[in-house]
Homo-oligomer: A and B are copies of this chain.
Amino acid sequence: MGKGRLEAFSDGVIAIIITIMVLELKIPHEANLAALRPLIPVFLSYVLSFIYLGIYWNNHHHLLQAVRQVNGRVLWANLHLLFWLSLVPFVTGWTGENHLAALPVAFYGIVLFCAAIAYYILSRVLIAHHGKDSTLAKAIGNDFKGKISVVIYALGIALSFVNTWLSFILYSLVAIMWLIPDRRIERMLSS
């Protein structure tokens, strides 16, 4: 089974998720700076979520490059990842509207945590399908970055009830860590 439609469908879903988030930026009725002020936290959480979805799209792109074929299990592991990503606009809007209150920030972390787990499952299902000695398996390796992300998210969720800014610093830390593109797969493929 080819991977073409899996990529196309994932591209479509991520493109829509990344774009509908902008609908949360409700157009103000007045034309002054004061009318924009309540939008600042909404805008900031939009930027962070845009970066997160960009990271997932980039990593998905990298991951699928080393993939040769897919099966039914891969399709569902991929849909599972898209499910958690589809909740990003909701937690983004909730966090933004409540000016980084504790509970929305915790839920933001939970969705990121579940998406990270789903990405990990997807990579394992792909390795199981390609074999432990495949280029893909070697390229992913022990996935240290994936595992440490999950730990930092868990810490961020716990700390959201102490100080939501600490949580956001932790979430952003993971984003920065991933912004450095995942060269493992590129390196393996070119070697």
List chain A positions with a Cβ less than 8 A from chain B.
1, 5, 7-9, 11-20, 22-25, 27-33, 47, 50, 54, 57-58, 61, 64-65, 71-73, 75-76, 79, 82-83, 86-87, 89-90, 93-94, 97-98, 101-104, 179, 181-183, 186
Contact = CB atoms under 8 A, between A and B. Distances in A.
A73 to B, nearest CB: 8
Given A50-B83, A75-B181, A94 B11 contact: no
A147 to B, nearest CB: 21
A58 B72 CA distance: 8
Given A11-B9, A31-B98, A19 B18 contact: no
Nearest to A86: B22
Contact of A87 (B9, B22, B29, B103): B22
Given A12-B11, A12-B12, A181-B72, A20 B18 contact: no
Contacts of A54: 76, 79
19 contacts: A7-B8, A8-B8, A9-B14, A9-B57, A15-B16, A18-B82, A20-B23, A22-B86, A22-B89, A24-B27, A25-B87, A25-B90, A27-B93, A31-B104, A47-B83, A50-B79, A54-B76, A54-B79, A71-B186
Contact of A16 (B16, B33, B72, B102): B16
B5 A7 contact: yes
Contacts of A104: 31
A40 to B, nearest CB: 14
Contacts of A8: 7-8, 11
A72 to B, nearest CB: 3
A1 B8 CA distance: 16
Nearest to A15: B12
